[in-house]
Each structure stands twice: as structure tokens, then as C-alpha cells.
Amino acid sequence: MAGDGEFERDRSYITTRITADGRDGYPVEPGRYRLIVARACPWANRAVIVRRLMGLEGVLSMGVAGPVHDERSWTFHLDPGGRDPVLGIERLQEAYFRRQPGYPRGITVPAIVDVPTGEVVTNDFERITLDLGSQWTAHQRDGAPDLYPQRWRDEIDDVADKLYRDVNNGVYQCGFATGQKAYDKAYRALWERLDWLENRLGGRRYLVGDTITEADVRLFPTLVRFDAVYHGHFKCNRQKLTELPALWAYARDLFQTPGFGDTVDFEQIKAHYYVVHSDINPTGVVPRGPDTSNWLSPHGRERFGGRPFGEGTPPAPPPSAERVPPLGHAAGERGA
């Protein structure tokens, strides 16, 4: 926290990359690595979406940490015996410590672990999704979309920077602010940007160009958590997402697109925020609402045209072990 109560995110990540040429010592190899995520976490949600869209389920396995953790780390309490079935560990912290004993920074998801050594390779969430799209091309499915097309990269980067500063991280700056001025500043920036997005999406289907791009992947996880968590729990309560016509329709459009809504578990999302953030919600009571059935209502965004996957095709349904419960159903989940 800054002196005025402003939340400051530690962005000192392990930036080693897994690349096609192995320049950092970690070459792309089917079956060698395991993507560790939590369904609750928006930053991890991005990686789950891109892995689905690229069709990498058969070459990059995925472990799912449970939604509730303590100060030491994410745990695999949803798996049999409370251990990840591939890595054999109870806490993600163990993989970080194998990379760097006593690792002093945040134990975050997403993280990619080198299975033979049990060491975390990277937890750089921004780079992970870009590299899944660009470095794993030899193993992507036929019809995998280009989420970072060369002709749109400058605009994608500009939009993504605005999203991170004011929206993706902005909701946390509201929720974790410990001073009124810090909260007011974050609240204003958040809603100025959401108004900007409402206007931008009022006449176009996607954020950049006429297909889904990295920019949409980065916005969706925040929007899908907005009414369930950020509106009340993080005090981002000027309006609900459902009260913003363009953004609400846009979010439903993506939710109903294969690879997006089928990665979302609302029960795990709520369990994480309302239980883990005991300083914000000391009772640990998890709200029953909101009703999520409206995520499947017609969105009408087809009128703007656009091709969700560009020259590509939708991904196949997720593997049975990775399917999330249907809307309105609470259930546990295991990694693949």
C-alpha cells in the first residue's frame, strides 16, 4: 500500500519464457509443462481462455487450484488427497520454492511449471497468453484464431494498457484502498474508463478490429466478475454491468462464444473473494446472488457483423475433466 492508502500491485514476475527456439532454456515441448490456474482468478482466466482457443489441451496440461487459500499460497484442496495429480504438491508455493528457495514475492496464478523439475518457469500473466498464441503454433489446433494480428498490435497494446490501468487493476485499487482519497481516485478512473468502453462498444462488436483479440481476452474476466464480486465487495457500485447496455451485451456475446463462458465458475469466483478477503468481508459470508441465468440471454451483437474467430473456427468443447458446472450449479472441480 502507498502512504495514502492506494493499492499498489507487485508486478515483479518470473519472466522466463517458453519459446519455440528455447532461447531462455525452456523450449516448447508437448507434455513437459503444466499450466496452474484458479477458476477464481481473473488473471488466470485469461490463460485458460487462450489455451482453449488455441486448442492446446492435449499438449499443455492444466492444474486447477481451489478458490480458497491462506497467506502461504494457492492449494490443490479440490484434488484427491489435496495434491495436484501431476506435480504431487499440496501448495503452488512448493513449485516456486523449487525454482527459488524462499521465493519472497507473491505466489500467483497463472503459473507454468516444468513437470520434470517441478519448478515454476513463469508467472508473467501478460506474456503467458501472448506466448501461447505465438510460440506454440506448431501444436495449436487447426482453425486457431490469431489473437494478436500484426496490423492491429499497436491499437491492441494501447487498449490493453488502458484496460489494465483503469479496469483490470482498477477494481482492485477500489477494493483494497485504505483511504478515502485513494478510493475516490480509483473509482473515478474506473468509471471514466467503463464509460469510454461503453461508448466504444456501442457501435462495434469487438474492442479492436472485427475479430476477438487479446484485448477482448483481457477485458472479459473483469466484466464477468463485475456484478458477482466487484460491484459490492470492491465498492465499484455506481452501476451494475447489467445496467450498461453496450458492455452488458458485449460481455454476454463473449460469454456465449466457445472458449469464454465455458471457463467461468461463478461459485468458485465468489468463494475466493468473499472468503479470502477477510479484511473486507470479515464474516466470510458468501452471497447467494446474483442470478447468472441472464448470461445466456440474447445479446443482439450480431448486427455489428464481425467474425469472432477471424479465418479460424470455434474450439471443441472442453475436456470432460475441465468442464465447469452449468450456470446455477455449485460443484468442485479437478485439474486435467
Q: How far apart are CA 273 and CA 67, in angstroms?
A: 8
Nearest-angstrom CA–CA distance, 201 and 197:
6
Q: What amino acid is encoded at 13 in this protein?
A: Y
> Could you tell me the end-to-end alpha-carbon distance of the chain, in angstroms, rounded to an integer?
37
Residues 209 and 152 sit within 8 Å (Cβ to Cβ): yes
Say which of 41, 148, 183, 273 is annotated catalytic: 41
The torsion angles phi and psi of 75, rounded to 5 degrees, stand at: -125, 165
- List, as own/partner pairs, every contact residues 194-198 make where C-beta atoms lie below 8 angstroms and the sequence separation is at least 24, other chains included: 194/167, 194/244, 194/247, 196/162, 197/167, 197/246, 197/247, 198/244, 198/245, 198/246, 198/247
Q: Which amino acid is at 228?
A: A
Name residue 67's amino acid: P
Q: From CA 42, how far away is CA 220, in angstroms rounded? A: 9
Catalytic residue among 13, 103, 164, 172: 172
Active site residue 174: no
List active site positions.
41, 172
